[in-house]
């Protein structure tokens, strides 16, 4: 009786670990950071991309207005892909798009805009990438809808027609 109880115990333990490992290993183990929205954006000072001088974020984002902040770089291929969509958004809708150029060579960044068009009302530089971290960015491109100095929506990866339709609903 005691021996049967012992065997049953061993089998149960093995079965338990089998289930734990089976479920655990079957699950895709890629983590993604939380998308934190509805929080006040932090103040920062950034260099301008096309002219000398710096600008403070408090002077860029005003209350009661919707902005689009796009983090991009000339070395990022998906950024080239989404550029047409940003141009389309700029030409058809009245939304102020702020460009934040991430860790780029100044000449390459300027050339990128000169060749593909400038969708940005204001272009900023993030030389060491620390401003992007303030927004919780972890890849390029990333686009944020900012209203009342708060991030209300975040797009990871290039924006497309679907995201444009959604962005328009926030402007209205």
Partner 1 sequence: MKYIIFLLLFSCLTLIANSQEINNQDLVNKISKNVRCLTCQGQSVYDSQSEFSESIKIIISNKIQEGKSEQDIYDFLVEKYGEWIIFEPKFNKNTFLLWVLPLLLFLVGGFLIFRNFKAVK
What number of other Cβ atoms are within 10 A of residue 69's Cβ?
A: 27
* Mask for 35-54, x = binds partner 1 (CB under 8 A): -x--x---------------
One residue of 46, 71, 132, 167 binding partner 1 per CB under 8 A: 132
Of residues 34 and 91, the one with the C-beta less far from partner 1: 34
Q: Are 20 and 107 in contact (CB under 8 A)?
A: no
| Smallest distance, partner 1 to C-beta of residue 136, A | 4
| Smallest distance, partner 1 to C-beta of residue 137, A | 8
Residue 136 near partner 1 by CB under 8 A: yes
Residue 29 near partner 1 by CB under 8 A: yes
- Which residue, 167, 142, 161, 135, is CA-closest to 39? 135
Of residues 133 and 168, the one with the C-beta less far from partner 1: 133
Region from 5-13, 51-59, 128-136, 155-163 binding partner 1, contact rule CB under 8 A = 128-136
Report DSSP letters for 32-56, one per residue: ------SSBPPP-EEEESSSSSEEE
CA–CA distance, 23 with 61 (Å, rounded to integer): 47
Q: Report the Cα 58 to chain-centroid distance in Å.
A: 21
Of residues 97 and 140, the one with the C-beta less far from partner 1: 140
CA–CA distance, 150 with 39 (Å, rounded to integer): 5
Region from 4-12, 25-33, 81-89, 111-119 binding partner 1, contact rule CB under 8 A = 25-33
One residue of 137, 146, 159, 167 binding partner 1 per CB under 8 A: 137
Report DSSP letters for 91-106, one per residue: HHS--EEEEEEES--H
Residue 9 near partner 1 by CB under 8 A: no
Question: How many angstroms separate the first and last alpha carbons of the chain?
Answer: 75
For binding to partner 1 (CB under 8 A), which residues are involved?
29-34, 36, 39, 102-103, 128-130, 132-139
């Amino acid at each position: 009786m005691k021996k049967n109880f012992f065997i049953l115990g061993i089998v149960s333990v093995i079965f338990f670990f089998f289930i734990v490992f089976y479920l655990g290993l079957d699950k895709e183990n890629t983590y993604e950071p939380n998308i934190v929205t509805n929080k006040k954006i932090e103040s920062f000072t950034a260099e301008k991309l096309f002219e000398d001088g710096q600008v403070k974020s408090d002077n860029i984002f005003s209350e009661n207005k919707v902005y689009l902040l796009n983090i991009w770089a000339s070395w990022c291929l998906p950024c080239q892909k989404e550029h047409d969509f940003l141009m389309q958004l700029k030409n058809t809708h009245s939304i102020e798009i702020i460009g934040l150029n991430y860790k780029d060579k100044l000449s390459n960044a300027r050339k990128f805009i000169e060749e593909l068009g400038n969708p940005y009302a204001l272009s900023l530089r993030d030389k060491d990438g620390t401003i992007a971290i303030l927004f919780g960015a972890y890849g390029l491109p990333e686009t944020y809808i900012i209203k009342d100095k708060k991030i209300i929506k975040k797009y990871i990866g290039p924006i497309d027609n679907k995201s444009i339709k959604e962005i328009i609903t926030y402007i209205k």
